[in-house]
Structure 1
Amino acid sequence: MIAPLGSTVSASYQVMYRYTSDDAYINAIVSRIYNKLIISSLDAIGLYYANGIYTIVPQVIDTCPTYATPYVPESIVNGVNLPRILCSINTERVKAGRRPLAVHKALSDEAKEQVKLMDALGHYFKAPRISPLYWVAGQGNTDTDTMLDALSSKYYDDVTSSNYTIAGVAQLNGYWSFILGGLPYGITTRTVCPANLDQVTYVY
């Protein structure tokens, strides 16, 4: 059950403008709307950051849920549901007799930069093959399911290849990037289908 937001939401909505860091944002909250945050009728807050703009929404909930629902953070990394991506691809890799992929931080960062560049240019581009990396990308896939459809249909042989043990993935505004790589040493992932980010095996 999702409780409806209270009548005070629109009045308490605060756009906190541009700040250079989270610390500066916190200082602004304390100095500007501290009194709103400590009133006894306040039930929740929402926080958001995008393109340099910080936002906060203090909320008073009119109708409380009849039971407690635990908060489960989304497993979104670089615009994709990372556990779902890994579960789908690693399941196919295990079927093919391959080791499950681990997530490589550097490849993830590179994939993120690639989608940012494509979004800025306004079109998809194909990067050159760099051994031992294999990079595939596309556009028009704004969610994990459509990305997985493309990866499993067009690039099945690549994503299940024994040459690769690590991957990085990102999506932004329909542009996506998936980078595969290999390491000279073996990697043992904790689980083929991670339930959350804590179970994802990262390589740095």
Structure 2
Amino acid sequence: MRFFGYVVAIMAVGAGALGASPATVGQGQAQQIVCQVNRDRVSRYLSPVFLHRTLSDAAITLGQRYEEGTLDSSFFNQLVARRISPLGSSVRTSYKVLGTFTNDSDYVERLERTIYDQLFDRTLDAIGVSESNGVYTVVLASGLAQRPSTIDTCPTGTAQFSPSDPGSSGGNPANVVNGVDLPQFLCTFNSARTRAHADAFVVHRALADEAQAQVEQMVQLGHYTVDGPRKVDESLYAAGVSVKQLYWMAGDTYHGATSLVNLLTANYANYVNNPVYSVIGVAQKNGYWSVILASLYRSVHAYSPCPLTLSDVDYTS
């Protein structure tokens, strides 16, 4: 896959260090939590479970809703239908929010007492975990269609199992904007941003239009380009769009929303997880894709970091 990216500094900004703040030792460490759960499962002659990226993303979303006071069963049902049910034809799932704890061991001890039957179900495949301000959210699932070839009782590193994309069908047609399933893309992208302690992106209409113009240009030229006849910064200036700083990424093989997010977070982490950037525009056509990030002179807020439908997507102009 070929891809590129470049940054356009429209206004000089401070060069202070940017990055995620380290988590408190012993609090919110997903690998430590699953290790303790697995040891207790193995002691009961049950197979170990594994950390699942999609379930952890769902846990982050549920935890955010809980902290906002907007979590209810209808939202969870929508989240299951949108993000978890596609993981297998016979998936069964549940979640539990508990707080407030000062360390992972106390949390696991309480979790095992609270949902013993679910956590020690012999059919349980995987869990996802998130923690914020001592409030923990866990999502459990069985009947998953994809599993890792080997499962470590105590996983090392920070990687979590991610199912392969079902294909490049473009997602739910009702949710597709500029060739991309926008709610799915934002939900996955914003979950990654949350893990990096950055605010969720808001879609900027002008950036989305410019991203669409970029992929149209690449389709016409028959290859991706960074120095084509249409320059991102010049085009936005001409349209009267006021932004502080831009970063543009593009490539020539689109594989679906999840794969695109994985590529961006793997190759452009310093940009896509940078809290300076607050708005985004994305488009794809015939495999060519374009993603534009920007910072504004004003603050914006995503009220639905994990939108389920287009009506939930947060826009700004």
TM-score relative to the length of structure 1 = 0.61
Aligned residue for 2:288? 175
> Once superposed, which parts of structure 1, at least 4 consecutive aligned residues long, lie more than 3 Å away?
127-131
Alignment gaps of 5+ in structure 1: 1-71
Contact 1:103 1:202 in 2 (8 A): yes
Q: Which aligned pairs between 1:57-68 and structure 2 lie closer than 5 A?
A: none
Correspondence 1:192 to 2:305: yes
2-structure distance, mates of 1:136, 1:73: 24
Aligned residue for 2:191? 91
Equivalent residue in structure 2 for 1:160, among 273, 279, 284: 273
2-structure distance, mates of 1:188, 1:141: 28
How big is each residue's C-alpha offset from its partner over 1:123-151, in whole Å with a ceiling of 9 and x where there is no partner? 01125785611000001114223322211
1-structure distance, mates of 2:309, 2:232: 32
1:174 counterpart letter in structure 2? G
2-structure distance, mates of 1:199, 1:134: 25
Correspondence 1:147 to 2:247: no
2-structure distance, mates of 1:102, 1:190: 9
Q: Which aligned pairs between 1:2-13 and structure 2 lie closer than 5 A?
A: none
Aligned residue for 1:3? none
2-structure distance, mates of 1:159, 1:86: 12
Aligned residue for 2:111? none
2-structure distance, mates of 1:118, 1:142: 17
CA RMSD of the aligned region, Å?
Answer: 1.8
2-structure distance, mates of 1:164, 1:82: 18
Overall identity of the aligned pairs, in %? 39
How big is each residue's C-alpha offset from its partner over 1:167-193, in whole Å with a ceiling of 9 and x where there is no partner? 000000000000000112111111110
What is the SS of the residue equivalent to 1:84? helix
Alignment gaps of 5+ in structure 2: 1-171, 234-243
Change (3 A) 1:136 1:123: same
Q: How many residues align?
A: 133
Contact 2:247 2:293 in 1 (8 A): yes
Contact 2:200 2:278 in 1 (8 A): yes
